[in-house]
Amino acid sequence: MRERNKIIMEYGTYMLAYFASYIASLAGLHLLSGALLIIEALYLYVHWVRESGSVVEMRALFTLSWVGGQGIACLKLSELQTDWHYITWLCFGLIYLVFGIGYEWGQKYVKVREFELEKNETQKKRLFLCIMGLAVVSILCFAFEAVKVGFIPVFSDKPHAYSYFHVSGVHYFTISCILIPAITVLYRKVSGRLAKGEFFAIAFANVTALAIPFLCVSRFQLLFAVGFAVVTYIMVNKRIRLRTMVILLAAMIPIYVILTIFRNHDVAYLNSIFEMKWDKMPIFITQPYIYVANNFENFNCMVVGLTEHTWGIRMLFPLFALTGLKFVFSQLISSPLFLTKPELTTLTMFYDAYYDFGIIGVCLFAALLGGVAKVLASIVKKSRNPIAYLFYGQIAIYLGLSFFTTWFSNPTTWFWLILTGMMYLFVGYDKNRKEKSEEKEDGN
């Protein structure tokens, strides 16, 4: 009962902060409106981390991303931003509350025995095969795409070269290399000392995992590969040194800047798109600001401009893409996007849920996500299969970037999850069979 009251109190503070932010926004006090939500997001993140003992706990990550991202958007630092419709405010508030309800519903599945990953020669060999298989397939598919489209994005002078570097069906395999660093973390956990040949092979695969996103000029894929590996490392090692995190972040900053340059996006071009109210604001602030804030603005554009819902068509896009139905029935992908500006096309995780079913859609989707997140966390704790951590890592990244895109309406997301499922069966098949036989014997 005390635990339940504590949770109610935490969500109560959120509701108070959210209502105060809404009132401040109505009064035109946008800096105050944003600051209230940012402070609340940080407070709740620290609270959920302390409760769980993990800096990558899913509810904590979602809180920081969704509530904190909304707070950033509420600062209204760009001319592109407008006062939100009351339905937009209602949706954003309900999403966080309902996610929490779903997460608490999943609590009843949590009381399980936890296992630590141990050294396992069979799993080591199979993880090695997964790493090398992904590396080889990604290299071959990248080479095929480069020949087919006739250029490599990093060497192209087109402003949006990566957007044209796609061969339908093949590109999923090309970018699957970004799973390699996270699998390498698991490989090191279940293996002993590496032979020299193993070390160089693994190093080559990881260089490939970083080189292909770089050659594609995809900052997101590069950051995803590193972030995914870091989340996996924290999960299997329980903690990560602050110095290690600082080094990783410091190493990524110059790479991010270099990729921005190679994308042929100069400061004047970006500033002309972002339309910041203070035109002297540094680009290293305006760019991440817009990449967070404008996604919420695009949601509001949809709320204001949408005349009819699509009843599941948008959220089923991965099915249409992976089966090829989108090429047969073009009307399945013909619904327009509502954007503040054509160049700013990123969206929040819940954009398509509202597009399809309105307020009911975002609430059901948020509740489902919350429940799945908690259940998945419990499955990882009781699993002896290291690949289970890849499922957790991917969902954690998606929740931690919930402001960024419609993850679960993206066929690439489901391709990676399906690929992870195949590796899960491959790496843990014998172990799963043994565990089932042991459970039968215990039952008898």
The tens digit of pLDDT for each residue in 85-96 reads 999 999 999 999
Q: What is the pLDDT of residue 115?
A: 62
Cβ atoms of 142 and 174 within 8 Å: the answer is yes
Looking at the DSSP bridge assignments, the partners of residue 78 are 276
Residue 45 · residue 10 · CB < 8 Å: no
- pLDDT (0 to 100) of residue 245: 61
Give residue 282's pLDDT. Answer: 82
Residue 111, pLDDT above cutoff 70: no
Residue 402 has pLDDT above 50, yes or no: yes
29-to-20, 85, 122, 266 alpha-carbon distances in Å: 11, 16, 60, 32
- Number of residues assigned to the chain: 444
More confident residue, 179 or 153: 179
Residue written as token pair 């039968």: 440
Distance in angstroms (rounded) separating the CA atoms of residues 374 and 41: 20
Residue 176, pLDDT > 90, answer yes
Predicted pLDDT at 6: 74
| Helices of type H across 238-336 | 242-262, 267-274, 283-305, 317-323, 325-328
Residue 71 sits at the vertex; the CA angle it makes with 19 and 4, to the nearest 5 degrees, is 55
Q: Which pLDDT score is estimated for 154?
A: 84
The helix or strand, by DSSP H or E, that contains position 11, with its residue range, turns out to be helix 2-26
Q: How many CB atoms lie within 10 A of CB 261?
A: 10
Q: Which residues contact 25 (CB under 8 A, 6 or more apart)?
A: 33, 74, 83, 84, 89
- How far is Cα 155 from Cα 145, in angstroms, rounded to an integer? 14
pLDDT of residue 441: 46
For residue 114, pLDDT over 50 is answered with: yes
State the distance between the two ends of the chain, measured CA to CA, in whole angstroms: 37
In 3D space, the residue among 282, 298, 413 whose CA is nearest the CA of residue 348 turns out to be 298
* Lowest mean pLDDT segment, chosen from 225-229, 249-253, 330-334: 249-253
Contact indicator for 332, 325 with CB cutoff of 8 Å? yes
Residue 395 Cα to chain centre, angstroms? 7
Give the pLDDT band (50/70/90) at residue 444. very low
- 8 A C-beta contact, residue 198 and residue 127: no
Res 437 pLDDT > 60: no
- Judged against a pLDDT cut of 50, whether residue 379 lies above it is answered with yes
Close Cβ partners of 205 (under 8 Å, ≥ 6 residues apart): 131, 132, 134, 135, 177, 180, 184
Instruction: Take residue 355 and report the two structure tokens written for it.
Output: 């597009």
pTM value is: 0.89
Average pLDDT over residues 137-162: 87
Q: Of 361, 366, 347, which is closest to residue 407 (Cα–Cα)?
A: 347
Task: Give percent above pLDDT 90 in the chain.
Answer: 59
